[in-house]
Structure 1
Amino acid sequence: MINPLPAIFISHGAPDLPIRGGEVSDFLRSLHRQFPKPKAILVVSAHWHSDPIMVSAAKFPKTIYDFSGFSEQLYQLSYPARGIPELSDRIVDLLGRSGIPCNIHPTRGLDHGAWTPLILTYPEADIPVTQLSIEYQNDPLYHWQVGQALEPLRHEGVLILGSGGITHNLYAFNVNYDATPLDWVQEFDMWIAKTIAEGSWDDLINYRRLAPYASKNHPTDEHLLPLFVALGAGGANVKGMQLHSSYAFGAFSMAAYAFASGT
């Protein structure tokens, strides 16, 4: 057993994150300094959906370019981290003990929700990585329970990294990266920050009913669901801490949070 790592949630924004400068890139490049180097990384990405949830057992996960229309420079990047099939077996076992079915995908690679932040935070790609899907037709409570089941991994040197977006309405996207964030984006973002700071987990799980402009910021749930996995993985008496706050394209909160057990 080692001192447990926190569970992390980051907002990954647009796929061109690795080739942009600015606050978010600087934050991600410095994130590794805030806790010990993991033995392995489990990414829960908003961009892999399945029913039931799945975990990849790829030995050498490919870099997936699940986007189009970006600079050719982006398609030249790759993230050649090796996989860790034995972690996939451990995940299936942990989820099964909690009555949560999970299938293994033998070859699934890393989508941009996984590799675009990792190429900034761990550019050497020297930590084995696997990826877990979300079941986006299921609710935040279910994904919180998934996180709870996976909490022992934090004590085994595994970084659980939820990757999505605190806000995500593509219809409000502004082509100007530095556009002033919309009022309703800021109001929702501040509600999330306040709710996490206060530890009001029931309110957070019921965000769609309680948060201002919830459906406007999240026409669908998938980009917020990895947050609840990270929350659940934080453990008993979990505390949340904001690691970063900024905005992009007028519609995206790029906030990031850490979750770990309190004393």
Structure 2
Amino acid sequence: MTTMPALFVSHGSPMLSVSDEPAGRFFDTLGPTLPRPDAILIASAHFETEVPTLGAAPQPETIHDFHGFPEQLYRIRYPVAGAPGLARLAAERIAAAGLPVAIDDRRGIDHGTWVPLRRMYPDADIPVATLSIQPHRDPAHHYAVGQALRGLRDEGVMVVGSGSLTHNLRALDWHGGPDAPVSPWAQAFIDWVAAAVAEGRTEDLLNYRRLAPEAVKNHPADEHFLPFFVALGAGDGSGTRLHASVTMGALAMDAYAF
């Protein structure tokens, strides 16, 4: 059986689900270029809990967890089947690693999950289980969760972290829009992460808030970067940047495979 990759994707604005922009076009081509998984386990920055929690709904509802967007977005449904068996297996692996874990049999799929998956797999024909983040815990915790899930990649499961490589919404160039010039402070952070991944500097990445340039400005809170560490932990130590683009001057849409 082919070993599935672990991915980190930046899901951006909910408009990514319908807009014609570089990141959206990248997602359109990504799914067909990857080995086809039997199931997907995705950690979303918008699923926050006290302890790692697996969403195990057999038919998860599409959650529209955003406000002020065009009406067409609220009509979107991603009618994917859940993967309760995978959710329970993942919970067992996390527990075996000595970490607390829970299962939520009713959790739907938020836009951090369905926005990228709808473009990668528009037929919604790959079962999906979801995984929460713990915004009060550090990158090392999320890396450990990812490590516990690493073996699933040999069992037909694609592990995905969905967040944002940079996420300071107050500093975005809303007037400049998708084509606004990239802020130097965002570019410095983007380049640092790319170099650290390419050079296998895992410890530096885990300590990014201390070592990366403009780390706190790019992530005033780091909940949108925490899924990166789940994917990093689920990987095998090497990483490749699959996509790089920036919208509104400072929202980096980078994607990585580990």
Fold-level match, TM-score > 0.5? yes
Q: In the aligned structure 2, how far is the partner of 1:149 from the partner of 1:22? A: 35
Deviations 1:23-49 (A, max 9, x none): 111110111133211100111000111
The 1-side partners of 2:40 and 2:86 are apart by: 9
- 1:214-255 C-alpha deviation (Å, 9 max, x unpaired): 0000001101100110011013xx210000000011120110
Letter in 1 for 2:187: Q
Task: Point out where structure 2 has 5 or more consecutive residues left out of the alignment.
Answer: none
Work out whether 1:9 is the aligned partner of 2:2. Answer: no
Equivalent residues in 2 for 1:63-212 (5 A)? 63-175=62-174, 176-212=177-213
Q: 3-state DSSP class of the match of 2:43?
A: strand
The aligned amino acid for 1:182 is S
TM-score (norm 2): 0.98
Matched, 1:241 2:240: yes
Query: Which residue matches 1:216?
Result: 217
In 1: Cα distance, 2:44 partner to 2:170 partner: 21
Secondary structure (helix, strand or coil) at the match of 2:182 reads: coil
Q: Which residue of 2 aligns with 1:38?
A: 37
Helix, strand or coil at the partner of 1:239: coil
Alpha-carbon displacement from aligned partner over 1:81-104 (angstroms, at most 9, x marks no partner): 010111111011100110011100
What is the distance in 2 between the residues matched to 1:129 and 1:64? Answer: 14
Query: What is the one-letter code of the residue matched to 1:184?
Result: W
Aligned AA (1:19): V
Match of 2:60 in 1: 61
Give the root-mean-square deviation of aligned CA atoms.
0.8
1:24 aligned onto 2:23: yes
Greater mean deviation of Cα atoms: 32-41 or 155-164: 32-41
Q: Which letter maps to 2:180?
A: A
Distance 1:60 1:174 in 2: 38
The SS at the match of 2:95 is: helix
How far is 1:177 from its partner? 1.9
| AA in 2 matched with 1:232 | G
Distance 1:223 1:25 in 2: 18
Deviation at 1:73, TM superposition (A): 1.1
Q: Which runs of 4+ in 1 moved over 2 A?
A: none
How big is the shift at 1:137?
Answer: 0.5
